[in-house]
Each structure stands twice: as structure tokens, then as C-alpha cells.
Amino acid sequence: MNEQGMRSIQNHNAEVEIDPVNLTYHIARRWRCVLAAGVIAGAVLGGYKGVTGIQNLRNKAYLESQNAEYLKQKASYDSSAESLRRQIQNITDEINTNQEYQESSVLMNIDPYDAYRETATFYISSDYQIMPGMTYQNPDKTKSIISAYLAIAQNGQLYKDVTSELNDEMTIRNLKELINVSADYDNNLLSIVVYGKDKEMASKLMELIRDHLSNQEDQIANGVGEHTIKLIEKSSTNTVDEDLKKKHTDFNNNLTSLQNSLTDRQKKLADLAAPKGTLITKGSVVRNVLKFGIIGGILGVLCAAGWICVSYVAKGRIHTEYEMERYGVRVLGSYYEPVRKRMFSFIDSLTEKLSGASAKNRDLSRVCEAAAVRLEGMVKTEGCEGANICLVGGIDEKDLNRVREAMMADDRNVSLEVAGNLADDPDAIRKVQAADGVLLVEQKNVSKKSDVETELAMLEDFEKRVWGAMLI
């Protein structure tokens, strides 16, 4: 037995893989069944929804109660959704405002662990004196004078004057948060604290504020009372500022809280369940029929395709040349039945063409003639002219005879004899035992892989050469 024969027998029990491309073509060839299943399933499901919808339309009491309940649920849903959308918009606006402020604010961009701060403390005194022995005493206007300076230091004109003197652009809001003015009425003190992104900025701001207060001294003296204002302490520090650190922390915590609130509202809106169904009207019934008709059609197509796949695997048939060659058997010829003339047969022709079928292999006599020429060449190459080769296979004997006659149409230097089915025909077994080799003839979509494996196992026992196979 030569190497090809040994390979055929050794591989007869190889695991046969499922080719997804061939499986796809197998389903495509049955597109009519798949389409019919989709149409039937769509008609059944869509028809069922149509019948129930018409029945509901005719039941006025049911119709009114269902529509009233739907409208109530929809109103509640719309109200909740609108409230959440409004909250989301408000929170989003607040977050954007805070982020814009954070980017533009000088104070929020000062490192609290490296903050520049300038401090100035002023002592304010008036000409008030206590007159001993006098019942009536002059009023002490010192506190009023301090309050006047405090008001001037905190009013809008101060901030306008300072911002106009600065070279860089700064809003009044950003300037206000850099200046802190406080008063100690018990000790007649006025304190000013100024922050800056650097030492120069802090000093510049303090200088502008002091100039502005100095310019207002005569006005306060004339309007409130004579006094003197004296700078008693001035300092410039670069240190860790706990107050500024707390402001940063509070701002970031507030921004995080807003973002968490936004996420929470967005999740609630996404999870908010819309009322099921719609108002029961003729239009809604028609839409339901179309909707469930399409769903039923898709389910029908999927179920039909799934059933074809299961059948393809479970039945274990020989469908393609690839499946035969997996056993190590050379396919000498493969015949495709002509496409039947019927409605939409062009789709069948296209499917067969894509799967490898052509006009040549739709002619059985031509396929058999080509296979015979190949077989004759193989026999000649092996030096086995005049060899007696049996045709075996699990198909009808008349089909075997038809293949033999087509292969022997011209005089061939090889003898072909019909043996039959090795599985249940003793005469076929005797003929094979007496022959020089065999040619398997199997029918696509009919011959079982298990039968082919049985035939190959018997041929291995008989040590017979398998010259190839014909698929019809």
C-alpha cells in the first residue's frame, strides 16, 4: 500500500472541524426556509398583538381606565424628569461658575503653604478728654472715626480706585478677597491684611490702600471729628497661612459636593422609568403590530438558522469537498445539481456561485470525465495500468452505475466495477477484496460521516488503496 493509501486510512478517524464558511453557505442555500420561518413568526406575533389591540379598542371601559392610568403615570414621569433636568442644569451652571472663578481668582491660585501676606496696624486717637467735676462730658468720637475708616476701606470706591491703578486685569470680586480690614474698638486699632501672589503684589496693594485712606483723612476729620492716625506695626511675611488653606479646602469640598450631586441627579434621571406602553389608539395598535411583527420575523429567522446549524452538526453529513479531504481522501470530482427554475432562482444561482459551483461542475458527465482522466493519470504514474478499481459508497446502486458509465464513456486504461455498500452488502465486500483499489462515491448532504469512517476502517482492514472520492 502506497503513502497516499496509508494516509487515507490513518486519518479516517481524525476529528472533523466545522468550517464556518461552509456552514454559512449551507444556511444561505436554505434561505427560503429561513425567510418563511421569519414571515410566519412575524405574522403570528404581529397578528396576535393586532387581535388583542382591536379587542382593547372595542372595550370602552378598559380603554378609558388604561388611558387614564397611562396619562397619570406619564404626567408624574414628565414632572420628575423636568425637575431633575432643571436641577442638573442649575448644578452644572454653578459648577461652571465655580470653575471659572477658580481659574481667574488670585486668592484661589495662591499656595497656602507659600503665601505672601502684608499686614498694617493703625492707631487712631481723637482730642477727647475727660473733664473732671463736670456733669456734661464731650462725646467720644473715636469709635465713629474708626467706623468711618472701616467703611471707606470696605466700600466700592476703594476697590475701583485700586483696580484702576493695577497694570494687570483684576475684577473687584477678586480684589475684595485679597483684602481683609478689621477694627478693634476697645484699643482704637484698625488692621489691614493683604494677600498677593508674590511679595511685590502684596506690597503694591497695601500701598494703594494706605494712600486711599490717607486721602480720606481730611474728609473724616471734617465730617466726624479731629483725629490722628498712626501706623504702629507693619509686616510682610511668606509663610503657611491656615486661613487660606481652610478657604481652599472648603472651596474644593464644595466643588466636589456639587459634582457628586450632579452625578446623583444624572443617575436618577437615567434610572427614571418611563411609563410602559402608550395611549391605546388605532395608531398605537398599528405600531405594535409592526413592532412585534419585526421582532417575530427576526426571532423566526434566528430560530430557523439555529435549527439548520444544529441539524448540520447533529446529522453529521458530508456537505463539501473539504469535509471529505479531512479524512485524507483526494476528491477527484464534485458534482453540483443544477439550480431549479423557480421564483427568485437567481438568488440560488448566486449562492451556489459564491460557494464554488460553476457551469462545468453542474454537468455530471463532464465532472465524471474529468475525474476519470485524473484517475487514469494517477494509475499510470503508479505503474498500475489495467488495475481493477471498485466503486463503493452508501448510495443507491443505480447512482453508482450512473457514475461508472459516465467515467467509462471513453476507452480508459483502467477497469471500473460497481461494488456497492460495504456496510450491508457481502457481495460488495467480496468484490473489494478481489480488487486492486477502490473509489469512494458519496452523495452530498446525504452520506453520513460515520458511514464514510466505517468504509475507511474496513478498507484499512483489507489493506486496499483508496484512489480518491467522487461527490455527487
Specify the amino acid at residue 382.
Answer: E
Do 213 and 344 reside in the same domain of the chain? Answer: no
Cα separation, 321 vs 335, in Å, equals 10
Do 329 and 210 reside in the same domain of the chain? Answer: no
387 inside domain = yes
34, 27 in Cβ contact below 8 A?
Answer: yes
Do 327 and 467 reside in the same domain of the chain? Answer: yes
pLDDT for 6 equals 44
Helix axes 3-10, 449-462, angle to 10 degrees: 130
Look at residues 243, 275, 298 and tell me which one is the last residue of a structural domain: 243
Do 118 and 235 reside in the same domain of the chain? Answer: yes
44 inside domain = no
195 inside domain = yes
Cα separation, 194 vs 107, in Å, equals 11
Do 341 and 457 reside in the same domain of the chain? Answer: yes
Cα separation, 63 vs 279, in Å, equals 9
Number of domains in the chain: 2
Mode of pairing for the β-strands spanning 331-334 and 179-184? unpaired
DSSP string, 86-125: HHHHHHHHHHHHHHHHHHH-SGGGS-GGGEEEEEEEEEEE
CATH number of the domain to which 414 belongs: 3.40.50
Do 230 and 337 reside in the same domain of the chain? Answer: no
Smallest CA-to-CA distance from 91 within 265, 267, 272 is with 265
pTM confidence score:
0.46
99 inside domain = no
Smallest CA-to-CA distance from 275 within 79, 73, 472 is with 73
Cα separation, 278 vs 50, in Å, equals 15
pLDDT for 396 equals 85
Do 326 and 463 reside in the same domain of the chain? Answer: yes
Q: What is the DSSP letter of 339?
A: P
188, 101 in Cβ contact below 8 A?
Answer: no
Do 142 and 239 reside in the same domain of the chain? Answer: yes
In the chain (472 residues long), the average pLDDT of successive 10-residue segments reads: 45 55 73 88 87 75 73 86 94 93 88 90 78 56 88 83 78 88 91 90 90 87 86 88 89 94 93 73 79 90 87 77 85 78 68 60 80 87 83 88 83 80 87 90 86 88 90 88
190, 122 in Cβ contact below 8 A?
Answer: yes
Cite the DSSP H helix spans in 108-241.
142-154, 156-165, 172-176, 199-215, 217-223
Do 328 and 458 reside in the same domain of the chain? Answer: yes
Q: How far is CA 14 from the centre of its chain?
A: 41
**SS3 for 429?**
helix
407, 366 in Cβ contact below 8 A?
Answer: no
320, 22 in Cβ contact below 8 A?
Answer: yes
452 inside domain = yes
Do 237 and 341 reside in the same domain of the chain? Answer: no
Smallest CA-to-CA distance from 438 within 399, 319, 452 is with 452
Length of the chain: 472
Do 230 and 341 reside in the same domain of the chain? Answer: no
Using alpha carbons, list the distances in angstroms from residue 72 to 60, 66, 208, 465: 18, 10, 65, 83
Cite the DSSP H helix spans in 16-59.
20-28, 31-58
Look at residues 204, 219, 243 and tell me which one is the last residue of a structural domain: 243
Cite the DSSP H helix spans in 316-396.
321-325, 345-354, 364-381
pLDDT for 286 equals 83
64 inside domain = no
88 inside domain = no
37, 306 in Cβ contact below 8 A?
Answer: no
Beta bridge partners of 189: 123, 184
38 inside domain = no
Using alpha carbons, list the distances in angstroms from residue 268 to 7, 299, 410: 68, 33, 84
Look at residues 243, 274, 302 and tell me which one is the last residue of a structural domain: 243
Do 239 and 332 reside in the same domain of the chain? Answer: no
> What is the domain extent for residue 119?
106-243
User: CB count, 10 Å around CB of 215?
Assistant: 11
Sheet strands side by side (includes 227-239): 179-184, 189-196, 115-126, 227-239
CATH number of the domain to which 183 belongs: 3.30.70.1130
106, 205 in Cβ contact below 8 A?
Answer: no
